[in-house]
Amino acid sequence: MTLKAIIFDVDGTLAETEEAHRIAFNEEFAAWDLPWEWDSALYKELLKVTGGRERIRHYIAEHNPPRGQEMLQRVDELHKAKSERYMRKIREGGVPLRPGVKRLIEEAKAAGLKVGVATTTSTPNVEALIEATLGRPAAEVFDAMACGEEVSAKKPAPDLFTLALNKLGVAHNEAVAIEDSRNGLLSALRAGMPAIITPSGYTEDENFTDALAVVSHLGEPDNPYRHIAGFGFSAQMITPGLLARWTEGWGGRPTMKEPPAGLKVH
Ligand code: XBP
Ligand code: MG
C-alpha cells in the first residue's frame, strides 16, 4: 500500500463535540416542552446509535418517554432545530480542535496526501466547526467530505468511508482512517481501510482491538500522546511518515472482519 490519503471522522475526533450535541438536544427538548433529559450516562448509551435522528427514534423506541409517539412523527423537525442550535454553539467558539489535528492536516497536505472527512453528522455542522476553529471554509481545508445526509446506512456500515474514498479518488488500501469510536473503527474496517484511534471522552472504554494504533490524541511537539495500544509505542506524534510506515503491510479488503496479522510495530 502507498499511502495517498487520510480520512478523518469529525465528532469526537477533530473535536470533542459530543457535549455540544448533547446540550443542544436537551435545550431543544426543553424548547419543545418535552420532559426529556439526556444525562451523560444515558447519552453514552445513546451514542451507540450514530446519527441524531436515528438516536431520537431509538430513544423513543427503547425508553418510551412521555409524548414519544407524537414526536416520532416530528423527528425531522426536532432534529433540524437541534442542528441549528448546535451550530450556533459551535460558532460561539469554545469547542477547539483536539491536539495534533491542525498539525496533521497541514503536514499531510505538505506531504502531498489528500485529506478528507467521513462523518455521520451533516455537512453544515462540519462547515460550522471548521470555520469556527480554522477560520476557513471546510471545502478549502478538505479535498472531499462524506457526510451523514449523503448515505442511507451510517456507521458502523462502510458507506461513509467508501463514499469518501470514491470522492478522493483513492483505493481502500491507499488511505487511513482517524477515528474515535468503535462504530467508526468498524465502518473503516468494513470499507477495507486501516484505522488509528484517538478515543474521546464518551468512547474511551470502547473496544478498539482491530485498530492499527490507539493513542490518547494525535500529539503536538510540546504535548506528546499517551500510547494505549498497537503501533506507536515509542513515538510522540502521529505524522504522515509514521502512517505511511504503519500502513505499508495493510492488505485489508472491503467487508473484512480482522486486520492482517504480522504487521511490524515501528
Ligand atoms: C457522531 C454522531 C453524530 C452526532 C450528532 O458519530 O453519532 O450523530 O452525535 O450529529 P461519528 P447529528 O463521530 O462516528 O460520525 O445530530 O448531526 O446527526
Ligand atoms: Mg466520532
| Tens-digit pLDDT profile for residues 189-208 | 999 999 999 999 999 999 99
- In degrees rounded to 5, what are phi and psi of residue 14? -70, -40
From the CA of 180, give the closest atom in ligand 1: 13
Note the pTM of the prediction, 2 decimals: 0.94
205 assigned to active site: no
Q: Using one digit for the tens of pLDDT, what is the confidence trace for 112-134?
A: 999 999 999 999 999 999 999 99
Residue 192 near ligand 1, beta carbon < 6 Å: no
Q: State in Å: Cα 178 to ligand 2 middle.
A: 9
What is the reported pLDDT for 250? 84
For residue 255, the model assigns a pLDDT of: 63
Cβ proximity of 144 and 175 under 8 Å? no
Which amino acid, residue 91?
Answer: R
Catalytic residue check, 143: no
For ligand 2, the distance from its centroid to the CA atom of residue 148, given in whole angstroms, is 12
Cβ–ligand 1 contact at 148 (below 6 Å)? yes
Nearest ligand to the CA atom of 184:
1
Residue whose cell numbers read 515509542 = 234
* Ligand that comes closest to the CA of residue 12: 2
For residues 156 and 176, the answer to whether their CB atoms sit within 8 Å is: no
Asked whether 155 and 49 are in contact (CB, 8 A), the reply is: no
**Which tens digits make up the pLDDT trace of 87-109?**
999 999 999 999 999 999 999 99
Which residue lies with its CA nearest to atom 1 of ligand 1? 11
